[in-house]
């Protein structure tokens, strides 16, 4: 059944988004219909203009016909304006709605989605694919308008000369052949073009985000070449799409030219033989020529519709993808105060099957400073990512205050956790907005106190606009230490009872580390802390230390206990402090090896 064809189903999905604006669309359709009638009226006026004014030299016709034409032309202009405005309004509103719907789904997807999907592809889907869909209704309406115009002009043609009209109309199906023949190819190429646009967006975002690395390694030429290769692929796809559309249009032009030439010859013979008048003939030929205009417009509108359907396939395919589901939590709120966090036989694998954690068991109690250490790839970050449910464990369970994490409402769970990582991410907002980010209802006092406790207020006051200074994309206007202190201030302003520090000082120089460490000490005061430590100097005084290796717990205890009982921890300790002596990276707190340990 044609009603169940993929094209019809897709178009019905698109139509659903236009239904809220049906009144405007109906008015636009009426305007469009009347505009088509105006085209026919303009063609019909040619007959009395030629016969009554130029042949019969009627003075009355000289006054009336130009006035009538002026009224027709003015009416058509107003009707086209009404149609275009109302249709464009509907298309822009659909664009807004679809983008919001896509964004609302994307922003709620779990982290594993963002690890698989390049950012540029996501941007392209929100920007380009949705824009293609928003043009579907105006293009479809244009098709209807051209059909109405064709019908109105056909009435004039048949009225003026039925015999010639039959000959002209017999040629029209041939003119429509390219429209049907090239539709599938245009749509296929449109889909490829939209996918390639996503690839270009992704590469552009990657290069611009890593421009410092590109310049540091003198890779400008290689990256320019890589981008040029993708750009050329897009050019080739676009060229093929343009070629398909233009071949279709040109074929229609040739067929139309053949039809007009035949009509000119036969109609000219009729005028010469006295069978028809010049007015009748030129009114007929004007209407006929005007009929081929809508046919060409149908071809252009069809290209737009095919692009819209290609975009619809990608957008609705994404929205309907059952594997892309939003993060789900339970319906319980976290009971305060924080009592304990318990991991029971937790194992975790990444989507590609890589085992990251196996049979992890530990308990963190209120007020404890709990540390995780181990070599790179041991599973430390994977473990702390399970606590705010960035990922879910494969087996085992994690309990917070006696209940599984999955039982808690996601917002309630995450509101009681602050995360400070080595990637000090800031938004392109003011210093104040970054500190109070995610802290609803916080006032200026909260912002100032958080900045002071994070040792950030001094450099903030020296900035051009103080707390109103825009920090730039990812905080590019600030140093690494300043960015990190603002993220600590953000965590202080949030005032969550459970704190996760993921190697928060590992990317800093010694001087910046000292300042940031003091800020972290303020942050950890009166809070339960889980600290991932690259530099053991930051967790010497932890209440308990968990040693991980290859996703398994190899030991746990205090610093002094682990130096004696854990070969891995002892090796890490000696490598960091005993081999560096009192030079850079050494810790004065650890300079008394065994006794202080």
Residues 212-252 pLDDT 10s = 556 656 677 777 787 788 778 877 877 777 777 667 666 66
Q: Where do we find the tokens 């399970």?
A: 386
C-beta separation of 129 from 315 below 8 A: yes
- The sheet with strand 528-532 has its strands ordered as 417-421, 498-502, 528-532, 369-373, 544-549, 552-557
For residue range 126-140, list pLDDT tens digits in order. 777 777 776 666 677
Each domain of the chain, given as residue ranges in start order, spans 2-197+239-320
For residue range 275-330, list pLDDT tens digits in order. 777 777 777 777 777 776 676 677 667 767 777 777 777 777 777 776 667 777 88
C-beta separation of 387 from 555 below 8 A: no
Report the C-alpha gap between 83 and 27 in whole angstroms.
8
DSSP 193-213: HHHHHHHHHHHHHHHHHTHHH
For residue range 452-465, list pLDDT tens digits in order. 888 888 888 888 88
Does the pLDDT of residue 597 top 70, yes or no? Answer: no
**Percent of all residues in the chain with a pLDDT value above 70, rounded to a whole number:** 79
For residue range 241-256, list pLDDT tens digits in order. 777 766 766 666 666 6
Does the pLDDT of residue 125 top 80, yes or no? Answer: no
Interacting residues of 168 by C-beta distance below 8 A, sequence separation 6+: 157, 259, 263, 288, 291
For residue range 407-462, list pLDDT tens digits in order. 988 888 888 888 888 778 888 888 898 888 888 777 888 888 888 888 888 888 88
pLDDT given for residue 343 in this prediction:
92
Q: What average pLDDT does the segment 514-540 reach?
A: 81
Query: In CATH, which superfamily holds the domain spanning 2-197+239-320?
Result: ABC transporter type 1, transmembrane domain (1.20.1560.10)
DSSP 391: S
Among 28-42, 168-182, 305-319, which stretch is predicted with the lowest mean pLDDT? 168-182
C-beta separation of 31 from 80 below 8 A: yes
Return mean pLDDT, the chain. Answer: 77
**Percent of all residues in the chain with a pLDDT value above 90, rounded to a whole number:** 5
1 vs 102, residue with greater confidence? 102
Does the pLDDT of residue 183 top 70, yes or no? Answer: no
Does the pLDDT of residue 581 top 50, yes or no? Answer: no
pLDDT given for residue 346 in this prediction:
92
Does the pLDDT of residue 483 top 70, yes or no? Answer: yes
C-beta separation of 413 from 332 below 8 A: no
Q: How many CB atoms lie within 10 A of CB 111?
A: 11
For residue range 564-576, list pLDDT tens digits in order. 888 888 888 888 7
What are the structure tokens assigned to 314, written together? 């990608």
Q: What average pLDDT does the segment 84-90 reach?
A: 82
Q: What average pLDDT does the segment 521-535 reach?
A: 83
Interacting residues of 94 by C-beta distance below 8 A, sequence separation 6+: 17, 18, 21, 133, 134, 137
C-beta separation of 102 from 71 below 8 A: no
Report the C-alpha gap between 117 and 399 in whole angstroms.
31
Report the C-alpha gap between 452 and 523 in whole angstroms.
11
DSSP 401: T
Does the pLDDT of residue 582 top 50, yes or no? Answer: no
Q: Smallest Cα–Cα separation from 523: which of 558, 486, 559?
A: 486
pLDDT given for residue 342 in this prediction:
92
What are the structure tokens assigned to 2, written together? 């044609």
Q: Smallest Cα–Cα separation from 344: which of 365, 363, 356, 361?
A: 361
User: What is the SS3 string spanning 58-113?
Assistant: CHHHHHHHHHHHHHHHHHHHHHHHHHHHHHHHHHHHHHHHHHHHHHHHHHCCCHHH
Report the C-alpha gap between 367 and 147 in whole angstroms.
75
The phi and psi torsions of 185 (rounded to 5 degrees) equal -65, -40
Report the C-alpha gap between 455 and 459 in whole angstroms.
8
């Amino acid at each position: 059944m044609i009603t169940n064809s993929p094209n019809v189903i897709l178009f019905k999905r698109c139509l659903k988004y236009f239904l809220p604006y049906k009144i405007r669309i109906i008015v636009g359709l009426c305007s469009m219909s009347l505009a088509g009638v105006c085209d026919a009226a303009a063609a019909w006026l040619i007959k009395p203009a030629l016969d009554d004014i130029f042949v019969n030299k009627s003075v009355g016709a000289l006054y009336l016909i130009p006035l009538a034409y002026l009224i027709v032309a003015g009416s058509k202009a107003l009707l086209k304006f009404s149609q275009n405005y109302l249709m464009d309004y509907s298309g822009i509103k659909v664009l807004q709605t679809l983008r919001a719907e896509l964004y609302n789904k994307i922003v709620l997807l779990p982290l594993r989605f963002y690890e698989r999907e390049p950012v540029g592809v996501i941007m392209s889907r929100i920007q380009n694919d949705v824009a293609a869909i928003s043009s579907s209704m105006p293009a479809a309406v244009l098709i209807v308008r051209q059909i109405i115009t064709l019908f109105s002009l056909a009435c004039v043609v048949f009225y003026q000369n039925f015999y010639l009209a039959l000959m002209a109309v017999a040629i029209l199906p041939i003119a429509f052949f390219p429209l049907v023949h090239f539709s599938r190819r245009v749509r296929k190429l449109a889909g490829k073009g939209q996918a390639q646009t996503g690839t270009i967006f992704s590469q552009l975002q990657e290069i611009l985000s890593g421009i410092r690395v590109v310049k540091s390694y003198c890779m400008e030429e290689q990256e320019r070449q890589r981008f040029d290769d993708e750009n050329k692929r897009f050019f080739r796809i676009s060229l093929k799409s343009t070629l398909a559309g233009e071949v279709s249009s040109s074929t229609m032009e040739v067929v139309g030219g053949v039809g007009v030439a035949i009509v000119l010859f036969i109609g000219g013979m009729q005028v010469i033989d006295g069978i028809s008048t010049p007015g009748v003939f030129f009114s007929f030929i004007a209407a006929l020529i005007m009929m081929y205009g809508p046919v060409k417009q149908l071809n252009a509108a069809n290209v737009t519709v095919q692009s819209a359907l290609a975009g619809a396939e990608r957008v609705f395919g994404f929205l309907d993808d059952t594997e892309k589901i939003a993060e789900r939590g339970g319906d319980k709120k976290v009971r305060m105060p924080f009592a304990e966090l318990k991991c029971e036989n937790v194992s975790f694998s990444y989507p590609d099957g890589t085992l990251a954690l196996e049979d992890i068991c530990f308990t963190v109690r209120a007020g404890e400073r709990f540390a995780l250490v181990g070599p790179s790839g041991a599973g430390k970050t994977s473990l702390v990512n399970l606590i705010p449910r960035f990922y879910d464990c494969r087996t085992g369970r994690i309990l917070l205050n006696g209940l599984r994490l999955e039982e808690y409402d996601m917002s309630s769970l995450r509101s009681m956790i602050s995360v400070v990582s080595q990637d000090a991410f800031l938004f392109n907002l003011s210093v104040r907005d970054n500190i109070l980010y995610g802290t609803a209802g916080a006032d200026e006092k909260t912002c100032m106190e958080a900045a002071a406790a994070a040792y950030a207020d001094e450099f903030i006051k020296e900035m051009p606009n103080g707390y109103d200074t825009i920090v730039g994309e990812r905080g590019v206007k600030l140093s690494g230490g300043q960015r990190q202190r603002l993220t600590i201030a953000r965590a202080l302003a949030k005032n969550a009872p459970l704190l996760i520090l993921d190697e928060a000082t590992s990317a800093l120089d010694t001087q910046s580390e000292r300042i940031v460490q003091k800020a972290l000490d303020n942050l950890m005061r009166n809070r339960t802390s889980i600290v991932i430590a690259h530099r053991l100097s930051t967790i010497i005084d932890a209440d308990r230390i968990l040693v991980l290796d290859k996703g398994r717990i190899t030991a746990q205890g205090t610093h002094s206990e682990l130096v004696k009982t854990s070969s891995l921890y002892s090796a890490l300790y000696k490598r960091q402090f005993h081999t560096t002596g009192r030079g850079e990276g050494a810790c004065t707190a650890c300079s008394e090896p065994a006794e202080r340990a």
